[in-house]
Amino acid sequence: MLKAFFHIFIFPGLLFLFFFGLLAEYLDRKICARLQNRIGPPWFQPFADFLKLLGKQDIVPGEADTTVFKLMPILALTATVTAYLYIPTWGSQAVYSFNGDLIVVLYLLFIPTMTYFLGGWYSRSIYSMVGAVRSLTQLFAYEVPLFLTILASALLANTWSLSEMTHFYAGHPGYWAFNLLGFTIALISLLGKLEKVPFDIPEAETEIVAGTFTEYGGRLLALFRLSMDIEMVVVASLLAAVFLPFGLHLPSWACFIGYLVQVFLIIFLISLLRSIFARLRLDQMINLCWKYFAPLAFLQVLINLILKGVLS
């Protein structure tokens, strides 16, 4: 029980993800600022913002559903932290793993977006409700190509376990190159999942203030922001485990350093992409995902099925 408590609340659980998530937010903001010829925030800015929000009063709109309004940030944070426990962070073995944990991770990462929708919808603010509808609509655009690319990698490895997938690619050097198309599609789809430019449509500040989070403040907004920071770490870790299985034969400490480098690389790519593109309209985002990304993701599935048949 002590070991389980340590894993869940200390490392690689909540406490580790708290600092890692804030560091990821700092790197994302700093890289984006430097790419735009700005200075960017100091290293302690995300932590200072979090403490500032903790000290502010929680205000629930009079027409909001109080229970749902307060529960959604907690549920979002819980889902993201739980998903991380099934993702390998050093070596090829996660803290908890079983055959089918890939489906559980994808399901858990589906929950935060639903909390954004429910939290905004039950805020009863016009801006929050518009942002909530946009979050849900955007969900059906990027989830399909994202899931298909991860499915393609799992089909080639012939397993639904993230740890076994990582072990398979570690034992078959070079096979990761077959998934480069899927990695590219998954990386762009992550911008939609994280609601970053050019897919920050649900919280477009020039149109709907802060979208889903317009009525949130204080500790509730702090939890939502923390869950979004942790979600960036979790999805980057997922892509690193599925598409970048490098250096897994090294000692555990070297594997962990390699994992950190891979996550920081993905965060850099995310910052780079959101720095060079302008926000799309919702209909443009949906057309992009369904007309281009989804067929390319199906192509990746077809390629891996053919390779699986040839290599077997």
Q: Is residue 283 part of a domain?
A: yes
Query: What is the rounded CA–CA span in Å between residue 19 and residue 40?
Result: 19
Radius of gyration for the chain, computed over Cα atoms and rounded to the nearest angstrom: 19
- Judged against a pLDDT cut of 90, whether residue 82 lies above it is answered with yes
**Mean of the per-residue pLDDT values for the chain?**
89
Q: Is residue 3 part of a domain?
A: no
Nearest to 193 by CA among 130, 245, 147, 259: 147
Q: Is the bond into 12 cis (omega within 30 degrees of 0)? A: yes
Model confidence, pTM:
0.91
- Which domain, by its residues, includes 291? 50-311
- Residue 119's Cβ-count burial label (10 Å; 0-12, 13-18, 19+) is buried
Q: Which amino acid is at 252?
A: S
Q: Is residue 45 part of a domain?
A: no
Q: Is the dihedral of CA 173, 177, 180, 181 positive or negative?
A: negative
Please work out, in degrees rounded to the nearest 5, the angle formed at the alpha carbon of residue 114 by the alpha carbons of 185 and 219: 110
On the CB side of 138, how many CA atoms lie within 13 Å of its CA? 30
Q: Is residue 29 part of a domain?
A: no
Domain count, the chain: 1
- Judged against a pLDDT cut of 80, whether residue 92 lies above it is answered with no
Q: Is residue 247 part of a domain?
A: yes
Q: Which is higher by pLDDT, 236 or 247?
A: 236
- Judged against a pLDDT cut of 80, whether residue 247 lies above it is answered with no
